Amino acid sequence: MQADTVVPVRKPRWKPLLYNSVFVLIILYGLGITFFLVARGLTERYTIIAWFNSGVHLLLISTLFLLPICLLARRYLAALALLPALVTFVVSYGVMFDPVVTAALPDDTPQLTLLTYNLTSKKANPEQLAANILEADADFVAVQELSPKVADYLEATLSEIYPYYYTHTEEGFFAVGMGVFSRYPILSEEYWRIHRAHQRVALDFHGQQIIIYNTRPIYPFISAGGFSRHREEVQALLDRANQETDPAILMGDFNMSDQSDSYRLITQTYTDAYHQIGWGMGFTFPAAEPDLDVVPRPLRRLLTIPVVRLDYVFLNNGIQPVEAHVLSVSGKSDHLPLYVAVTPQDLEP
């Protein structure tokens, strides 16, 4: 009796090839991030470096998922290629995931609560914007990209709660609209423009004068030389703010990531309140569907997931942060509001 002939089954060669290719791409990905992390020491005078700094936090976050996969697959070379990016993430953002521990303050220590809120969006609803501000219940509110219509509504709606306010608007050019609303007396107010708008107020907080800058530098991503113009505007703001002898606060939509040169300029002399006392990444943008008809609707909904932190409150040495968190509702603005509580360090209870 003749034995049956065994016909060998050929395994498809494309599967191991595809599998290996994935990890080769991960190695290249990790090396690419490392290259740009080193290259950005050259500063943002190269636009490609500035673009990298604007989104590098997302690349760093991806290593939290990719590196364990490489270790489980025993692809140690790929894991090693991702290691510098992971270390950079831990150094840059690890403190923002520590348990929040605030310094013990006497119960009668006065606290000034702040809200910064970029209001712009063609779909933004004035009633919802005002409701969000009232619900936040901050003592001092700084708003950016304020339209004449929204300014009129906020003044009429909020003036009983916030009797001290100043607004500046320009019809058809909402990017320069600014406003502040305060429970505490405003001793003086100034408004000026560089590339975009800025506002300075002197606030009487329990007899202590506090200087607050409401600011919104130029959006650097859509114009030639935008990143250098943004740095120039931030430097001009700092040149002025650094002359203050009273406790000072810089707050607003800064149109920058926390990896940018502009951020490093500010944090040389100011403390990022959310980075010090907040928890999590603190993303504030985007929060509403973009007003772009060319973008398919399903993709527009995906673009409502905040992925970058553009809104900040910075404090000089005379002010201590107590609390910081991002609100979860935007009123159809494309920014989420940022709430921060502070206390002047030398203020007597």
Q: Please give the residue that has the higher pLDDT: either 207 or 291.
A: 207
Res. 234: pLDDT tops 90: yes
Res. 5: pLDDT tops 80: no
Burial of 9 (0-12, 13-18, 19+ CB in 10 A): exposed
Mean of per-residue pLDDT scores for the chain: 90
Alpha-carbon gap, residue 103 to 303, rounded angstroms:
38
Q: Binning pLDDT at 50, 70 and 90, where does residue 245 land?
A: very high
* Contact of 245 with 207, CB cutoff 8 Å: no
Res. 295: pLDDT tops 60: no
Mean pLDDT of 301-330: 91
Output the pLDDT for position 347. 63
Any idea which of 55-69, 287-301, 325-339 has the lowest mean pLDDT?
287-301
CATH of 103-344 among 3.40.50.1820, 3.30.720.110, 3.60.10.10, 1.10.1370.30: 3.60.10.10
Mean pLDDT of 50-59: 94
Res. 68: pLDDT tops 70: yes
Q: Domain spans of the chain?
A: 14-96, 103-344
Q: Which 3-state string (H, E, C) describes the chain?
A: CCCCCCCCCCCCCHHHHHHHHHHHHHHHHHHHHHHHHHHHHHCCCCHHHHHHHHHHHHHHHHHHHHHHHHHHCCCHHHHHHHHHHHHHHHHHHHHHHCCCCCCCCCCCCCCEEEEEEECCCCCCCHHHHHHHHHHHCCCEEEEECCCHHHHHHHHHHHCCCCCEEEEECCCCCHHHCEEEEECCCEEEEEEEECCCEEEEEEEEECCEEEEEEEECCCCCCCCCCHHHHHHHHHHHHHHHHCCCCCCEEEEEECCCCCCCHHHHHHCCCCEEHHHHHCCCCCCCECCCCCCCCCCCHHHHHHCCCCCECCEEEEECCCEEEEEEEECCCCCCCCCCCEEEEEEECCCCC
Alpha-carbon gap, residue 213 to 205, rounded angstroms:
15
Residue 184 to residues 177, 199, 244, 281, Cα–Cα distance (Å): 22, 17, 20, 31
Output the pLDDT for position 287. 87
Res. 44: pLDDT tops 80: no
Res. 169: pLDDT tops 80: yes
pTM: 0.91
C-alpha neighbours within 13 Å on the C-beta side of residue 8:
3
The backbone region for 225, taken as left when phi is positive above 0, alpha when psi lies in -120 to 50, beta otherwise, is left
Alpha-carbon gap, residue 88 to 94, rounded angstroms:
9
Res. 40: pLDDT tops 70: yes
Q: Binning pLDDT at 50, 70 and 90, where does residue 1 land?
A: low
Alpha-carbon gap, residue 332 to 42, rounded angstroms:
39
